[in-house]
A and B are shown apart, each in its own frame.
Chain A
């Protein structure tokens, strides 16, 4: 028996072997060669059945699905429009009770001239301090309103200052007399329409009284005739 010469490995052979023996390196070696499993023979038939089923269905399902989606969209749009209209109507009709804090609103009464000579009739209509009759239930934010002052009315020393408007009380029940007479007939003898006037006969009855005049002769007198 012939003896072949022996060769010694590298000094790092053992270390290399140990490196290969680590868990991670063994994993890296064996993971690509893990045993493979085969599925059942019927697997292909199931796949083809599923493929054929999915082929046939879309022809009519897609159209019906599209139609259904469009119908749903249209219905939703229609219903949204209707609800919006209802909401708008409700907003217009319903009164939401809102409480108003009157302390926030301050109205400064305007300074109205108090001379009875000039504006006796308008004195009643002069704006007074604002006082709401009813305290509504509205609640709004308190806003500091600027003080509102009406501009002062200054009557210049003109001739109009002394204008007097006498108070004439006309009874409501009194029916005004008229100076005209109108008779209408449809007969053949008499004229169809007769108008009689009596101007100048009852001048006193006309009630031509000065309704506005100045108290001084030198001032302008305003006369208003009926």
Chain B
């Protein structure tokens, strides 16, 4: 993984504004950053904007990073926040009925990562953002609520709604 190849010397060089080191860090982490942005936004151009903003911020503020070992998670946080900022206009949270936000345990199908990725990208923007932030990036519901401007309970119900939708989409994709 990228973590193993990002050593302390590289971070030191990036802090010293060494352009080669900056490029090396970009090459090591660009897929991670772009993929996260792209999954939240589901739009290539906006995801590229987020990628650019994220790396500019990383290179400018890396000198303030107290724990270099947390560089990757720090970069993910920046990416997620930037993506949410960009997506806020298109993110609309629909009112869910009580049946929709209940997560069903019953699921009899086997799927792989490719299929899951397709299903995630087909989710509505609001529930997709919640799913990515909670399930993939591991943010607590409270923080996700703050980031998206929703309550903690809305975040939870949106996550359950996203999971139910994923099951349906995966079944549909498997049948296709």
| Pairwise interchain contact A36-B116, C-beta atoms closer than 8 A | no
Among B80-88, B106-114, B122-130, B144-152, which stretch is in contact with chain A? B106-114
Task: Specify the main secondary structure of chain B where it touches its partner.
Answer: helix
Q: Which residues of B contact A37 (CB under 8 A)?
A: 31, 34-35, 38
A-chain residues with CB within 8 Å of residue B108 when the two chains form the complex: 21
What number of A residues sit within 8 Å (CB to CB) of B?
A: 23
Known interface pairs A22-B105, A22-B107, A34-B35; A40-B48 also in contact (CB < 8 Å):
yes
| Complex contact A39–B30 (CB within 8 A) | yes
Interface residues of A in 31-48 (CB under 8 A from B): 31, 33-40, 43-44, 46-48
Q: Cβ of B23 and Cβ of A38 under 8 Å apart? A: no
B60 at the interface (CB under 8 A from A): yes
Interface size on B, residues (CB 8 A): 35
Mark out the residues of chain A between 8 and 55 whose CB falls within 8 Å of any chain B CB in the assembled complex.
Answer: 21-23, 26-27, 30-31, 33-40, 43-44, 46-48, 50-51, 54
Report which residue of A23, A30, A31, A51 has the largest number of chain B beta carbons within 10 angstroms of its beta carbon.
A23
The CA-CA distance from A34 to B114 in the complex, in Å, is 7
Contact A38 B34 (CB under 8 A): yes
Given A22-B107, A30-B113, A39-B30, answer yes or no on A47-B136 (Cβ-Cβ < 8 Å): no
Tell me if B52 and A50 are in contact (CB < 8 A): yes
B55 within 8 A of A: yes
- Minimum distance in angstroms from A159 CB to a CB of chain B: 97
Chain B: minimal CB distance from A179 (Å): 106
| Cβ–Cβ contact A26 & B56, under 8 A | no
Could you tell me which A residues sit within 8 Å of B by CB distance? 21-23, 26-27, 30-31, 33-40, 43-44, 46-48, 50-51, 54
- Residue ranges of B at the interface with A (Cβ–Cβ < 8 Å): 19, 22-23, 26, 30-32, 34-35, 38-39, 47-48, 51-52, 55-56, 59-60, 105, 107-108, 110-114, 116-117, 120, 135-136, 163, 166-167
12 contacts between A and B (CB under 8 A): A26-B116, A30-B111, A30-B116, A33-B113, A34-B35, A34-B116, A35-B117, A37-B34, A37-B35, A43-B30, A43-B48, A43-B52
Closest 10 CB pairs of A and B: A23-B107, A36-B31, A30-B113, A39-B34, A36-B35, A37-B35, A33-B113, A47-B55, A30-B116, A50-B56
